[in-house]
Amino acid sequence: MLDIARELCQLLEQGRDFAVASVVAVSGSAPRAPGAALAVDSDGTAVGSVSGGCVEGAVYDLCQQALQDGETVLQQFGYSDEDAFAVGLTCGGVIDIMVTPVRAGDPDRDVFAAALLAARSQETVALARVVDGPAERLGRALTVHSDGSYEGTLGDQPQLDRTAAARARAMLELGRTGTVVIGEEGSYCGRPLTLLVESSVPAPRLIVFGAIDFAAALVRLGKFLGYHVTVCDARPVFATQARFPDADEVVVDWPHRYLAATRLDNRTVLCVLTHDAKFDIPLLQRALKLPVAYVGAMGSRRTHDDRIQRLRAAGVTDHELARLRSPIGLDLGAGTPEETALSIVAEIVADRQGGSGLPLASTRTPIHHDTASLSGCAVREQPMPTAAPRLLDDSASVR
């Protein structure tokens, strides 16, 4: 639901009724992850998607029915020989969909509104909903904030709400969306109650060091992927908003000094495009010690070898150097700034999702990575694998 917060907030502000269908769980080759949503308002207008087209028509009908009868329903969709192209997922996966009406006077409308408004404002917030359990609890919701405070109730048991809020906050701290299982009485034992926890956190950061033509293309693709993009360069003649109109901010500062002062987290992506030792070495010395998601540096094979020698001389360890993606990007045969930017973001996505970077036609692994179980929580993983050392040759830089 939180992935379409902007559109749903507009409906709330207009006093409109709507129903939301949310992906609760997936298995096999399902097209959308838990939390993906399709909403239908009282006029029949639809926003969002739960399956990329496979079951949208059937889910649309369920939303209209929920608007009429006010009932929350849980429905499973999968491949069906009799109905493969009408309703079933022709990709062979299975998805569980929960449809929740949000109408004037409904007890959880204000709870949904609090979560949606916070998500639209880029605040850190989680929405926890009962997706499996007693019928009277199905769809009940809590809005949970980063400080642990919450609004709403899952029933008439305060301990249940406190336990659910604590589990949702733990998911929120990791920025994860998925299901958690708790006891119906609020303990970790007894009859299970399954919650879908949707986490909404501020956009991850992409910091591009080096105000060059390749950076302009990378900024555009970074924004397309949903990053908050910063361009940093010590040269004021190049680091201007006019040259990078798509960037959220353009900073004139020495890269290593800016990196030491700015906000970072484990989703932050750092792309070093300057290939100039006086900028790169002090910057990478610091960057490779930070718990960020990705550090990549542009340059030829010769530039890379020289950079590695300088970093080792500056005291950077082999373990730290193994994290460096250099030369930056996947081998796409890129030539233009736009193609090079595509090769870089392709590597960033593969690194974040644990992909191989190989053509799908040459692999036998699942196209869509399955959800994983961690500490009793079924969550959509976003792993940050440690890069293996690269085998280098003397050829030119290839992306």
Predicted pLDDT of residue 31: 63
Q: Between 207 and 390, whose confidence is greater?
A: 207
Q: With respect to residue 371, please indicate whether it lies within any of the assigned structural domains.
A: yes
Residue where a domain terminates, one of 163, 183, 202: 202
Q: If you average pLDDT over residues 79-92, what whole number do you get?
A: 48
Interatomic CA distance for residues 370 and 364, integer angstroms: 14
Q: 264 and 371 in one domain?
A: yes
- Dump pLDDT digits (tens) for 306-344: 999 999 999 999 999 999 999 999 999 998 999 999 999
Residue 256 backbone dihedrals phi, psi, to 5 degrees: -65, -30
Provide long-range contacts, Cβ within 8 A and 24+ apart, for 331-337.
331/398, 331/399, 332/399, 333/398, 333/399, 334/399, 336/217, 337/213, 337/214, 337/216, 337/217
Give me the domain span that covers residue 85. Answer: 1-104
Q: Between 133 and 385, whose confidence is greater?
A: 133
Q: If you average pLDDT over residues 67-95, what whole number do you get?
A: 68
Q: Which amino acid is at 60?
A: Y
Interatomic CA distance for residues 98 and 38, integer angstroms: 10
pLDDT, averaged across the chain: 85
Q: Is the per-residue pLDDT at 370 higher than 70?
A: no
B/e letters for 146-171, b = 16+ CB within 10 Å, e = fewer, are eeeebbbbbbeeeebbebbbebbbbb
Q: Is the per-residue pLDDT at 90 higher than 60?
A: no
Q: With respect to residue 65, please indicate whether it lies within any of the assigned structural domains.
A: yes
Beta strands 125-132 and 141-145, pairing class: antiparallel
Q: 125 and 3 in one domain?
A: no
Q: Omega before 192 cis (within 30°)?
A: no
Q: 123 and 183 in one domain?
A: yes
Q: 89 and 193 in one domain?
A: no
For residue 131, which of 7, 50, 34 has the smallest C-alpha distance?
Answer: 34
Q: With respect to residue 399, please indicate whether it lies within any of the assigned structural domains.
A: no
CB 17 within 8 A of CB 104: yes
Confidence of residue 29 (pLDDT cuts 50, 70, 90): low
Encoded tokens for 396: 């030119």
Q: 370 and 258 in one domain?
A: yes
Q: Omega before 327 cis (within 30°)?
A: yes
- Residue 185's SS3 state is coil
- Dump pLDDT digits (tens) for 291-311: 999 999 999 999 999 999 999
Q: With respect to residue 284, please indicate whether it lies within any of the assigned structural domains.
A: yes
Q: Is the per-residue pLDDT at 167 higher than 60?
A: yes
Residue where a domain terminates, one of 104, 134, 156: 104
pTM: predicted TM-score of the whole model, two decimal places: 0.68
Interatomic CA distance for residues 221 and 340, integer angstroms: 11
Residue where a domain terminates, one of 181, 202, 223: 202
Predicted pLDDT of residue 41: 94
Q: 342 and 225 in one domain?
A: yes
Q: If you average pLDDT over residues 178-207, what whole number do you get?
A: 86
Q: 120 and 145 in one domain?
A: yes
Confidence of residue 155 (pLDDT cuts 50, 70, 90): confident
Predicted pLDDT of residue 122: 87
Predicted pLDDT of residue 291: 93
Q: 66 and 127 in one domain?
A: no
Q: In this structure, what DSSP letter does residue 173 have?
A: H
CB 320 within 8 A of CB 296: no
For residue 129, which of 21, 263, 9, 219 has the smallest C-alpha distance?
Answer: 21
CB 36 within 8 A of CB 23: yes
Q: Which amino acid is at 57?
A: G
Q: With respect to residue 229, please indicate whether it lies within any of the assigned structural domains.
A: yes
Encoded tokens for 224: 């397309």
Q: With respect to residue 26, please indicate whether it lies within any of the assigned structural domains.
A: yes
Q: 72 and 192 in one domain?
A: no
Q: With respect to residue 394, please indicate whether it lies within any of the assigned structural domains.
A: no
Instruction: Please tell me the total count of domains within the chain.
Output: 3
Interatomic CA distance for residues 373 and 381, integer angstroms: 9
Predicted pLDDT of residue 367: 65
Q: 334 and 244 in one domain?
A: yes
Task: Return the bridge partners of 99, or none.
Answer: 21, 73
* Residue 283 belongs to domain with CATH number: 3.40.50.720
Interatomic CA distance for residues 349 and 344, integer angstroms: 9
Q: With respect to residue 385, please indicate whether it lies within any of the assigned structural domains.
A: no
Q: 312 and 265 in one domain?
A: yes
CB 279 within 8 A of CB 209: yes
Q: 351 and 270 in one domain?
A: yes
